[in-house]
């Protein structure tokens, strides 16, 4: 069995250790519940490595939100060429932030587990069907 590509597992929010088990109980792309599995359904890895571990995901989410605000601000300027009233920028940025909040929440945790946690490594023999 070929190993699961990291980017595919990342986009689908699969476990960073086995790249098979889902991290979230519902679909990654939806507005339904934001609940995470406590352990990976495939390999049993505990996602919250230590108590309060996902508080660090707030910093990742903040960085994502800042990048989103800057990008939406530039996009709004290029589309509207408005430089007098700040309201169009405020409305565009707040709308995008609220609509993308579920993705921001989920991907901040996925980024934290995949790329910012040195203790978590991919283990190839877990990336097999049981």
Query: For the chain, which residues make up each domain, given as ranges?
Result: 6-126
Structure tokens at 20: 């098979």
Query: What does DSSP assign to residue 85?
Result: -
pLDDT on residue 93: 97
Give the integer Cα–Cα distance in Å for 129 and 82: 55
pLDDT on residue 1: 57
Predicted TM-score (pTM) of this structure: 0.85
pLDDT tens for the 130 residues of the chain, in order:
578 899 999 999 999 999 999 999 887 776 677 789 999 999 999 999 989 999 999 999 999 999 999 999 999 999 999 888 899 999 999 999 999 998 999 999 999 999 999 989 999 888 877 6
Residue 13 backbone zone (phi > 0: left; psi -120 to 50: alpha; other: beta)? left
Structure tokens at 83: 């430089």
At residue 42, the 3 state secondary structure works out as coil
- Tell me the β-bridge partners of 46: 39
């Amino acid at each position: 069995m070929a190993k699961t590509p990291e980017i595919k597992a990342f986009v689908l929010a699969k476990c960073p250790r086995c790249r098979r088990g889902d991290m979230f109980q519902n679909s990654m792309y939806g507005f339904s519940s934001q609940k995470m599995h406590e352990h990976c359904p495939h390999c049993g890895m505990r996602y919250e490595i230590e108590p309060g571990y996902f508080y660090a995901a707030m910093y990742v989410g903040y960085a994502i939100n800042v990048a989103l605000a800057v990008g939406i601000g530039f996009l709004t300027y290029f589309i509207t060429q408005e430089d007098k009233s700040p309201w169009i920028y405020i409305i565009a940025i707040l709308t995008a932030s609220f609509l993308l909040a579920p993705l921001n929440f989920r991907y901040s945790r996925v980024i934290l587990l995949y790329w910012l946690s040195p203790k978590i490594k991919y283990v190839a023999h877990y990336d097999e069907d049981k």
